[in-house]
Each structure stands twice: as C-alpha cells, then as structure tokens.
Amino acid sequence: MGLRADTIGRRRAFVDARRRSHELSTPPTGRIPGRRFLHSPGPTHIPDEVLDAMHRQPMDLADPRVDRTIAACESGLRRLLGTKGAEVFMYAANGHGAWEVALVNLAAPGQSVLVAGTGHFSESWAVQAEALGIRVVRTPWAEGLPIDPVSIEQALRADTAREIRAVCVVHTDTASGVTSDLAAIRRAIDASGHPALYVVDVVASLAAAPFAMDELGANVAVGASQKGLMLPPGLGFVAVDERAFEVSSRNPAPRFYWDWRSRRSELSYRKFCGTPPLNLLMGLEAALGLLAREGIDAVHARHRLLADTVHAAVRGWSEGGAIGFFARQPESRSVSVTAITIPAGSDPDAIRAFARERMQVAISGGLGPLAGRVIRIGHLGDINAAMVLGCLAGVQATFHALGIASGGDGVRRAAEFLAAAQSGRGD
Ligand SMILES: *Cc1c(COP(=O)(O)O)cnc(C)c1O
C-alpha cells in the first residue's frame, strides 16, 4: 500500500515535471541555435565520426562486410575489456537486456545469485533476477559508500550449501555516482573459498575508468552502448570466460534469444539470433577505433581530469551553500557521473527543466531512493574541457535563477583547477 502510494506520488511528480518542461521549452517550430550540451550519464554525446559511420545503408547478410564489421567489434570490445580469451556476445538490447543475458545463462529458477548492494542499479538487477524466479542474496547498501567487500565474503561463507551461482557487482552505480573496488571484491570472493562466478556490470564505467577483465579475474563483464562507448542506446554485450560458459552450458534455465550456446556460431544470423543491428555495429566499430586512436590510458586520464573538474565546481558550490556530494569518500567518486545533493525543499525537476530549456544543458535527476534529493552531471564519453565548463556554467546560472542556495563560485574553481592541471602537464 505504502509502496503503491509512493509509486503513484512519483508518477504524478513526473507528470508535473514534464508539464513544466513543456511550458519552458521553445516551440517546436523554433530552432535552437548551436548545440545542446548533453550531460546525462547515458545516453551521452555521440561523436560526429560515429554518427557518420551509422549514416549508411545496411548490407545484405551475405555481404562479407557484415562478418568483417562483427569481427572488428568483437576484437575491439575484447581489447577494451582487457581480455584475450573471453567470448563476446552482442545483443540488440539495452543494459537491462544485457543484465538478463547474464542472469538467464548463469542461473535457473530456484537457484541463487548474490547481488552486492550499490543502490538503485543493484536493486533493479536484483528485482529482475527475482522476476525470473532466481533467488537473490543481497548485501546491504550504505548510502554514499562503495561496496563493503567484507559483507560479500561473509555472505559467501554463510552459503555453506554453495547455492550461490554468481556474485553480481555493479562497478559504478550511476544513480549514486559511487565506484566500488573490484579487485578488493575479487579478493573477498577468493578468501571465502566459494566457487561462485564473478559477474561485473561495467555499463557506466567502461571506457571511462580502468577495467581489465582477465587481470581482475572477472568471469563475465556486462556492458551497453550509450555511455562511455559514445553510441546510441540499443546495443548490449557481455564477455564470457570459459568457466562461465561451462556453467551456462549446464544451466537448465529455459531461454532462447539470450542463449550463449546457440549464439556461439560463425554465422552472423545465429550470433544475433536473427538480423544483426548493423548500423549500431558500424557505429561501434567507429567508436572503438576512436578509443584505440586516443589510447585507452589517455581516455581514462581525460575522464579523471574532467571528473576532478566537476568535483572542483561542486566543492565551490558547497562552500557556504547547501550543495554537496552524495558520494562520501573522494576516492570512490565516479569518473563518469557526479551525484550532487541539493538543498531540502528544492526541486530537481525544476532545475533540470530550466537548465535544459533555458541553458541548453541537459543533466539528470535522482533515481529510486535518491529521487528528489540529487541532480546528476554526466561527464563520460565524447567530452572535453570546454563542454564540461559550459555545462557547469549552465548549472550555476540555473542555481542563481532559481534561488538555489549554492555558495562560492563553482565555475571559477573548475576553471582554476583545469588551468593548474593542464599547465602542470606542460601541454
Ligand atoms: C544505464 C545502466 C544500466 C541499464 O542500462 P539501460 O540501457 O538503461 O537498460 C545498467 N547498469 C548501469 C551501471 C547503468 O549505468
């Protein structure tokens, strides 16, 4: 009853926010000059090279270019994920589809998985597992903090019957902007002596924060196209090591479209259980090429720099104001997205609507338990310093316009941080 009332309340708030956005928005005939800055943590800004690569006719399925494009995507994703041996399966699906891929291949109804608590995204994954009839062991979520590896070790030790098939971990929870320590979690699983597979959701962290599947000892990595990979939504993928494939081939769960056994094939039509999403694959090949050309270490360094720039602004806004970080530990703040707490009583939907419609800066709001409490600035994918400064200036102007109690001067702090960091590098 409480939950239902809560859901209805949220839906009403959502509809109100929509109406306000429409009231503020330019009429459909009015052209918006310049570019709108897209700073949601997915979908993210798409590079022109990727848009151009997608703006082509699809091929007939016997055209050798189809297999070449698929092979380039598979090997590029393997390189990006830091794996030599794992097999890549791609799907015409979003991140939720890729979640389901991992679940239905690894666990049958009645079997168990452990989902480590990180907030909204871990809980959504857990709810999905339960809807599939899979039992879920949850470790607790502490607001603003990363996963406590000890809680995973304890939960695995407590599973003396060895019923847990997989430990499912969200690397960066996009709702809270908190990144957890994957290596520490690997050590906790090892210390427990439990044979569960290690399944990592890198949807929000891949191509932003370092991740190396083989070195880490992850058995499955789960990703999607519209975040660090700079593509439109609609392509999900998993990388699966031999052990996970082995578990899946003995798993009795009924499945068809997602099944790794039938997708392990040389034939493109079987690899995709039907027609491959060709234009998304053309875009993915182009995006992987851009990342390889920049160099993955440089990509990670750029994300670190731009995240630190956003963090400098938040520190400026928080001084003497009522703005702050949701992520409590500086070292676990994500390089992809920053969740910013706003003063009680202020309306994140009004902030978003004003920033989008009057400043041309699109940011995100709070999800799940953070609804109404935070705004989120995405800083991943195809972005540079000027885009981040523009976004921060648009947000700051919105704070002023709406009378949000923000102190200091976030934009000045961000510019000063960037100036120091860039001149310190000598380039
Ligand atoms: C966005 C996201 C998802 C879900 O992806 P969709 O494409 O929206 O279904 C899953 N996990 C994480 C960490 C995400 O950021």
Q: In the prediction, which pLDDT does 17 show?
A: 66
Q: In the predicted model, what is the mean pLDDT of residues 264-288? A: 96
Residue of 179, 203, 335, 367 with the most ligand 1 atoms within 8 Å of its CB, for mutation:
203
What is d(CA 203, CA 189) in angstroms, rounded to the nearest whole number? 22
Residues 28-40 pLDDT 10s: 666 778 889 999 9
Residue of 128, 172, 174 with the most ligand 1 atoms within 8 Å of its CB, for mutation:
174
Other beta carbons less than 10 A from residue 19's beta carbon: 11
- In the structure, what pLDDT confidence band is assigned to residue 402 with cuts at 50, 70 and 90? very high
Atom of ligand 1 nearest to the CA of 224: 7
pLDDT at 23 over 90: no
- Among protein residues, the one whose CA lies closest to atom 10 of ligand 1: 95
Q: In the predicted model, what is the mean pLDDT of residues 241-246? A: 98
How far does residue 381's CA lie from ligand 1's centre (Å)?
15
Residues 39-71 pLDDT 10s: 999 999 999 999 999 999 999 999 999 999 999
How far does residue 18's CA lie from ligand 1's centre (Å)?
22
Q: In the prediction, which pLDDT does 29 show?
A: 60
What is d(CA 370, CA 399) in angstroms, rounded to the nearest whole number? 19
SS3 176: coil
Quick one: how many helices (H) and strands (E) in the chain?
16, 15
Q: In the prediction, which pLDDT does 8 show?
A: 53
Q: In the predicted model, what is the mean pLDDT of residues 228-233? A: 98
pLDDT at 335 over 60: yes
Atom of ligand 1 nearest to the CA of 202: 13
- Among protein residues, the one whose CA lies closest to atom 6 of ligand 1: 95
Residues 125-179 pLDDT 10s: 999 999 999 999 999 999 999 999 999 999 999 999 999 999 999 999 999 999 9
Q: How far is CA 102 from CA 40, 211, 248, 280, in A?
A: 26, 18, 9, 21
Residue of 40, 90, 91, 96 with the most ligand 1 atoms within 8 Å of its CB, for mutation:
96
Q: In the predicted model, what is the mean pLDDT of residues 65-93? A: 97
Q: In the predicted model, what is the mean pLDDT of residues 78-91? A: 98
- Among protein residues, the one whose CA lies closest to atom 8 of ligand 1: 95
Q: In the prediction, which pLDDT does 31 show?
A: 74
Atom of ligand 1 nearest to the CA of 97: 9
- In the structure, what pLDDT confidence band is assigned to residue 426 with cuts at 50, 70 and 90? very low
Tell me if 162 sits within 8 A of 189, measured CB to CB. no
What is d(CA 76, CA 287) in angstroms, rounded to the nearest whole number? 10
Instruction: Give the dihedral sign, CA 36/39/40/41.
Output: positive
Q: In the predicted model, what is the mean pLDDT of residues 289-302? A: 98
- In the structure, what pLDDT confidence band is assigned to residue 408 with cuts at 50, 70 and 90? confident
Average pLDDT of the residues of the chain: 94
Q: In the prediction, which pLDDT does 3 show?
A: 43
Phi-psi region of 356 (alpha: psi -120 to 50; beta: other; left: phi over 0): alpha
pLDDT at 4 over 90: no
Give, in degrees to the nearest 5, the angle at Cα 108 between 131 and 82. Answer: 95
Atom of ligand 1 nearest to the CA of 205: 13
Q: In the prediction, which pLDDT does 14 show?
A: 61
Ligand 1 binding pocket, CB closer than 6 Å: 42, 94-96, 121, 170, 172, 174, 201, 203-204, 224, 233
How far does residue 338's CA lie from ligand 1's centre (Å)?
16
